[in-house]
Amino acid sequence: MNLNRNNPPLISPANLAEKVAGHKEVLLMMDYDGTLVSIMPRPDLARPDKELLKILEQLCRLPKYTLAVLSGRRPEELRELLPVPGLYLGGVHGAVIISPDGDFIPLQARTGVEKIITTLCKLADECIKNQPGFLIENKRYALAIHYRLAGFEPAEKVLESFIKESKRLRRQFDLELLKGKEILEVRPKGLHKGNAVSWLKKNLPQAFFVFLGDDTTDEDAFKCIENGLGVLVSEHLRPSNASLRLKSPLEVQKFLELLA
Ligand SMILES: [Mg+2]
């Protein structure tokens, strides 16, 4: 298990495809925002183009590859964005998996989380006080505050007050804060993409694992990769549990295209 954070070296899409294509059975897992599609000012604008959907469909049809997209987004939303037959979809950081047959498989066992998330959404709303540029997302098992369009100072103030005001509830219900790319999330401790990776691993024990991701929430998944490769998607060199790096979602698409 690779637990040493290093600066994963850059690899070209062609060289990565060559490394992966040599294996008999491959489980290809990837994050959505910032990995498969570029990050947009609003999450609803980050949509895959036809070309990408076609590549994913082609890959899913090849018996050698099993594909899974693991994201912080709600599973229903992922299904709408990625109508690709044969794809596994892991939503809310792996709280729920939608199988290629359309079955919802819950991996998050804690009860009562939904209620407390709703309370925290109301609290976030009170902290924002109708200021523009914020978006609160109730994801049932987690809550996200998006502030990409809010401006630096208002965002700092809102986050500071939300973090302070939510402290008691977060402690009481064992919830953790997670800072991503202009997004603040609250989720149950222990709920992370690594759980979904482990679940998929049980179903495909022989497969070579590849996980591609760009953000802090992907580091838990990189840590779970034993027989395989973690690939950070980042323009810049930075410490990560991944072992290699691609520059951008465009390079990810290139890599997938070469495999297909
Ligand atoms: Mg991402």
- Any bridge partners for residue 144, and if so which? 137, 185
pLDDT at 4: 57
Q: How far is the CA of 57 from the centre of ligand 1 (A)?
A: 21
Q: How far is the CA of 95 from the centre of ligand 1 (A)?
A: 16
Residues 9-65: pLDDT tens digits? 999 999 999 999 999 999 999 999 999 999 988 888 999 999 999 999 999 999 999
Angle at 169 between CA 165 and CA 171, to 5 degrees: 110
Q: How far is the CA of 79 from the centre of ligand 1 (A)?
A: 17
Q: Which domains does the chain have, with CATH numbers?
A: 13-108+192-259 (3.40.50.1000), 113-188 (3.30.70.1020)
Q: How far is the CA of 109 from the centre of ligand 1 (A)?
A: 24
pLDDT at 190: 86
Residues 174-208: pLDDT tens digits? 999 999 889 999 999 988 999 999 999 999 999 99
Q: What does pTM read for this prediction? A: 0.90
Q: Are 142 and 187 in contact (CB under 8 A)?
A: yes
Q: How far apart are the first and last CA of the chain?
A: 29
What is the total residue count of the chain? 260
Q: How far is the CA of 38 from the centre of ligand 1 (A)?
A: 9
Q: How far is the CA of 71 from the centre of ligand 1 (A)?
A: 7
Residues 99-156: pLDDT tens digits? 999 999 988 767 788 999 999 999 999 999 999 999 999 998 899 999 999 999 999 9
Buried b (16+ CB within 10 A) or exposed e, 156-194: eebbebbeeebeeebeebebeebebeebbbbbbeebbbb
pLDDT at 2: 44
pLDDT at 109: 67
Which strand (E) or helix (H) includes residue 160?
Answer: helix 152-165
Q: How far is the CA of 214 from the centre of ligand 1 (A)?
A: 5
What are the φ and ψ backbone dihedral angles of 79, each rounded to 5 degrees?
-65, -35
Which residue type, as a one-letter code, is found at position 244? L
Q: Are 178 and 217 in contact (CB under 8 A)?
A: yes
Radius of gyration of the chain (CA): 18
**Helices 152-165 & 113-128, crossing angle to 10 degrees?**
140
Q: Which residues contact 123 (CB under 8 A, 6 or more apart)?
A: 162, 165, 166, 169
Q: How far is the CA of 34 from the centre of ligand 1 (A)?
A: 4
Q: How far is the CA of 46 from the centre of ligand 1 (A)?
A: 11
